Copies of this chain bind each other. A is one copy, B any other.
Amino acid sequence: MSTRSRILRLSRYKNAAIRLKSLNFVKVFSDNLGDATGVTASQVRKDFSIFGISGNRRGGYQVDELLVQLNKVLGKDKPQKFIVVGVGNLGRALINYPGFGKSEIRIVAGFDIDPAKYNRKADAPILPIDELAGFAKANEVELAIIAVPDFAAQGVFEKLIKAGIKGVLNFAPIRLKSDDNVTVHNLNLETEFENLIYFVNTKTSPTE
């Protein structure tokens, strides 16, 4: 019913609604949201109907109310605390990512094994990985990002489970062996690049 791709679309509708609101839209139609996100109007309405999000016949959806409802479904009605494990290139970028500023996503700490990276004074402190479990429990953090190399990922993941983490966004290119109490989503940048390469190459070459 509520699949991964359906929820991804809800996020996009939300982003589109935010943009339209900033353009002073008071109401939006399923057709507008479809245009802004690249799906059909009936897909938008079907997605909404599955989550009980309703508008007004002929009147569309009130933007403000729509945003409240979408944020509620997406769990953005309250702050969501994340920790990042692996303060390399990508980890650091996520910790400092300004795009989360307006959103309810809060990155509250980073963890690494390299003492050169520790920084207890920062807004989001960088701490030794041994302190992970203590920190997570003390601060009631349930969400984590794995941004370590592939060979370290499974070990980190097991530490996260012990620390009571319930959801993991994994940037390492391996499938993590998980017990069922932890939700794992994988996101691999190389894979995304390869995907683009494939579609560009096959469009260009007339031999396929």
Residues of A whose CB lies within 8 Å of any CB of B are 2, 4, 7-8, 11-12, 14-15, 19, 36-38, 73-76, 80, 82, 88-90, 92-94, 96-100, 103, 105, 142-143, 149-150, 166-169, 173-175, 183, 185, 187-204
Contact = CB atoms under 8 A, between A and B. Distances in A.
A7 B93 contact: no
B143 A97 contact: no
26 contacts: A7-B195, A7-B199, A11-B188, A11-B190, A12-B173, A15-B174, A15-B188, A80-B197, A88-B98, A89-B92, A89-B96, A90-B97, A99-B149, A105-B190, A105-B193, A105-B197, A142-B200, A166-B200, A167-B196, A167-B197, A167-B199, A168-B196, A169-B196, A183-B200, A185-B199, A187-B192
A2 B202 contact: yes
A115 to B, nearest CB: 20
A198 B75 contact: yes
A96 B100 CA distance: 22
